[in-house]
């Protein structure tokens, strides 16, 4: 029997004001059974009060659709909001310390770029999921000349470890099938959804996911 379908993990754009809450509502309504998490990723604002004001209406929309609300980078903001999860970059803190601060029920994810070593370290430190990327050119996750993970990276992880893995970076409905076939548990997507018609984009991802076979466990 094959594993359950790959799920979508939506990443917010930088601008989450204006019409964005309505966009999120439409995307989650279209993505029932496909979208499992949403990450609040707003850079360049240090004021926790302002960030919380931006995050709270989006968190309520996620709760209404039973979608996990994940805070990027900030353990203090995740704690303040009682978020479902926090996603840590390599410079954003230790998963073990985040676990002590947030408790056992909060999901902790860690960016591991293309590094098998960082992924194994994150797993040993108690991460609930690890993220490899950027797989393709991306305005949000591209690291210029940094090494990119490969399909083989995903296959290696899916074969040896039970901790879920996220593929991120420039992922679209047109290029995601090989990532699914390699064993990605989640596809983290941003621009491919928010830069176009979000409902059509979610439906296009869902179609590819339903038609693409994941490896047997």
Site of tokens 């194994």? 120
Q: Are 25 and 67 in contact (CB under 8 A)?
A: no
pTM of the model: 0.95
Q: What angle do CA 110, 105, 3 make, to 5 degrees?
A: 65
Tokens, residue 207: 């179609």
Q: How far is CA 97 from CA 2, 94, 104, 199, in A?
A: 35, 5, 12, 38
Site of tokens 């209406």? 57
Q: In angstroms, rounded to a whole number, what is the distance separating the alpha carbons of residues 97 and 24?
A: 31
Q: How far is CA 139 from CA 113, 136, 170, 198, in A?
A: 15, 10, 8, 18
Superfamily classification of domain 7-211: Aldolase class I (3.20.20.70)
Q: Parallel, antiparallel, or unpaired: how do β-strands 68-72 and 85-88 relate?
A: parallel
Q: Are 72 and 85 in contact (CB under 8 A)?
A: no
Integer-rounded Cα radius of gyration of the chain: 16
Residue 192 has a CB neighbour count (10 Å cut-off) of 21
Q: How far is CA 162 from CA 78, 165, 217, in A?
A: 25, 9, 10
Residue 189 has a CB neighbour count (10 Å cut-off) of 26
Q: Are 202 and 194 in contact (CB under 8 A)?
A: no
Tell me the mean pLDDT per 10 residues along the chain, length 217: 77 97 98 97 95 98 98 96 97 91 97 96 96 87 69 96 97 98 97 96 97 86
């Amino acid at each position: 029997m094959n594993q359950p379908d790959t799920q979508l993990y939506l990443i917010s754009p930088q601008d989450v004001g204006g019409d964005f809450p309505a966009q999120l509502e439409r995307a989650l309504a279209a993505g029932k059974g496909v979208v499992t998490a949403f990450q609040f990723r707003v850079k360049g604002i240090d004021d926790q009060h302002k960030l919380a004001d931006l995050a709270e209406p989006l968190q309520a929309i996620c709760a209404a659709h039973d979608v996990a609300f994940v805070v990027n980078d900030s353990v203090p903001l995740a704690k303040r909001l009682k978020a479902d999860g926090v996603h840590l970059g390599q410079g954003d803190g230790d998963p073990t310390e985040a676990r002590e601060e947030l408790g056992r029920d909060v999901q902790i994810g860690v960016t591991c770029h293309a590094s098998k070593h960082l992924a194994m370290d994150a797993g040993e430190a108690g991460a609930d999921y690890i993220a490899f990327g950027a797989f393709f050119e991306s305005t949000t996750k591209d690291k210029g000349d940094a090494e990119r993970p490969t399909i083989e990276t995903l296959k290696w992880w899916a074969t040896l470890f039970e901790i879920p893995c996220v593929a991120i970076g420039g992922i679209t409905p047109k290029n995601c099938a090989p990532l699914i076939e390699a064993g990605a548990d989640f596809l983290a997507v941003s621009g491919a959804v928010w830069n176009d018609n979000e409902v059509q984009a979610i439906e296009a991802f869902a179609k590819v996911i339903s038609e693409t076979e994941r490896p047997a466990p």
